[in-house]
Amino acid sequence: MTEDATSSAPDRTVPAHRPVEVWAPNAAEVQLVSEAGPVAMSRDDSGWWHAGLADTSAGADYGFLVDGAGPFPDPRSRRQPAGVHGLSRTFDPAAHAWQDGAWTGRQLAGGTIYELHIGTFTPEGTLDAAAARLDHLVDLGVDFVELLPVNGFNGSHNWGYDGVLWYAVHEGYGGPAAYQRFVDACHAAGIGVIQDVVHNHLGPSGNYLPNFGPYLSDAEGNTWGASVNLDGPDSDEVRRYIIDSALMWMRDYHVDGLRLDAVHALKDHSAVHLLEQLAEETAVLSAFVGRPLTLIAESDLNDPRLITPREANGYGLDAQWSDDFHHAVHVALTGETVGYYADFAPLGALAKVLTRGFFHDGTFSSFRGRLHGRPVDLQRMPAWRLVVASQNHDQIGNRAIGDRLSAQLDTGQLAIAAALTLLGPFTPMLFMGEEWGARTPWQFFTSHPEPELGVATAEGRIGEFARMGWDPAVVPDPQDPATFERSKLDWSELQRPDAGRLFAFYSHLAVLRREHCDLTDPRLLRVAVEFDEADGWVKLTRGATEILLNLSTSPRWVPAAGSTVVLAFANNADAAPRLDAGQVLLPPHSVAVLA
């Protein structure tokens, strides 16, 4: 085996024409199973079993018998054409003739992310079909596309967070070859790719890792099941399993970054946390491949240590999501204050998020019943390290009926949400379809072949909504195929006049971000917010640029220093802002950008 360029540990992936090996430290016997019949494997001192010169040519199906049980798929399988319960198939990532030699990557700072789910982004639900829609994203002006998880899961469709084979690409999306074609197409269009990956738990069906070794922890689990063994006996190889998978996406598939799901659920008491180790090895790989590689954490801890450089005793990740931004924008526009929205009721919450990064930065969280978060260092932490959205897969899909903001708000209010997201101080992320005010819901859907899992999933969803005050009677059945079909984007909606007008506004916002350096200034200390709670207006000042927002249903005078309106949008297409002696009259539910 060759040595991994990013580590002193061997590269344990299974390319074509190389000996097959698998880690099973507690097994007494392991056999390689293929069309040629079973082949005995030999064990080394580290618990790895080797098959010598067994046939693993490209396209060969194989699996492993562990102490007579199985055959099981390879834990590092690249392809699962027969599903997660079937045999693995060899795949040579080097066989792809990459066309992105001129691609030098993109820095996250100043960029815009577009989050999408392959199965519902297009009617076909494939990577090739998504690649055919890239012109739309170019017209929109995004810099990165972020894919929800694509790794191997049981069934035909789900969100992707029930994956059990972290090295494989779901066959229904087109498999690994289609994934390479998609990344190549994105880079040709000038768009970087961020892959959402899940390392905090495994799905409920097809997880054979415990048959091979101590991949799961005996300690307390997390919300989704058993925790992964990150710090117990034999955890060194488990950590390598995770990190090698992460590096694989960026090395073999030319991905530009990873979104790390729910890192607060990673239970690791090691002196060097898994995230710090991953950040260090990613930096080494970035230097090796000669392009930026980005790590973005999803965390509900509001802890800046995740994005503090390693030199300053942080974990060294590049960015993290800030749900506080979403909550503040959602409450300001919808007035919804149940559950975790309760603390974000006044416009002061929005102002605090825009100027200090987190709302809960050591303050009392009524939803949690305790103090939560810690402050962002405004002097040193650049604002682009916080990724924000007014809508995303979690905040829409985890609502009772998966309703988007477009189900509650008019077009002017949707434009206000867009302006806050794209012209605020943070890294903006859009969710597929929001750019035209998509009216299709995005609901929680599954396709568990096992009936008992389907029932348990549906019952669990209803239980989750109790604290939010949502009616369980309206929750759609995740297992109903109609729930999945309803969640697919309807691209014909773009023909509606209001949809086209909103899309054009989003595109103009992206242009403003590129053309006005004030709007990518990373210093939170250069952000000022004024608001009037009673009149319902907000003004965000970034250098010489002012963003004026009228959240009320009546015209409002807003003080302004700028003399030129460079962009405006109102719910009434014929309404326009009026400048008069240092103030602007804003129509109801409208935005005006002044310079």
**Residue 260, pLDDT score:** 98
Distance CA(254)–CA(179), nearest Å, equals 10
Classified as helix, coil or strand, 208 is coil
Quote the DSSP letter at residue 19. Answer: -
**Residue 4, pLDDT score:** 41
Distance CA(51)–CA(36), nearest Å, equals 13
Residues with catalytic roles: 261, 298
Q: At what angle do helices 411-423 and 323-334 cross, to 10 degrees?
A: 150
Bridge-based pairing state of the strands 192-197 and 257-260? parallel
Q: At what angle do helices 323-334 and 347-356 cross, to 10 degrees?
A: 150
Contact (Cβ atoms closer than 8 angstroms) between residue 138 and residue 416: no
Q: Which tokens in the block code for residue 58?
A: 């490209």
Q: Which residues of the chain have pLDDT under 50?
A: 1-10, 13-18
Distance CA(421)–CA(437), nearest Å, equals 15
Distance CA(524)–CA(355), nearest Å, equals 6
CA-closest candidate to residue 387, choices 294, 316, 311, 313: 294
Q: Tell which CATH architecture fits domain 523-594.
A: Sandwich (2.60)
Q: Which tokens in the block code for residue 81?
A: 């054409």
- The domain ranges of the chain are 21-92, 113-342+372-501, 523-594
**Residue 53, pLDDT score:** 55
**Residue 486, pLDDT score:** 97
Contact (Cβ atoms closer than 8 angstroms) between residue 298 and residue 326: no
Q: Provide the CATH number for the domain formed by 21-92 in this structure.
A: 2.60.40.10
**Residue 467, pLDDT score:** 65
CA-closest candidate to residue 347, choices 473, 533, 554: 533
**Residue 466, pLDDT score:** 67
Q: How many CB atoms lie within 10 A of CB 231?
A: 20
Distance CA(539)–CA(541), nearest Å, equals 6
Q: Which tokens in the block code for residue 55?
A: 């046939």
Domain 21-92 identical in fold to domain 523-594: yes
The CATH class that applies to domain 113-342+372-501 reads: alpha beta
* Maximum CA extent, the chain: 86
Residues contributing to the annotated binding site: 259-264, 323-327, 393-398
CA-closest candidate to residue 227, choices 171, 267, 190, 182: 267
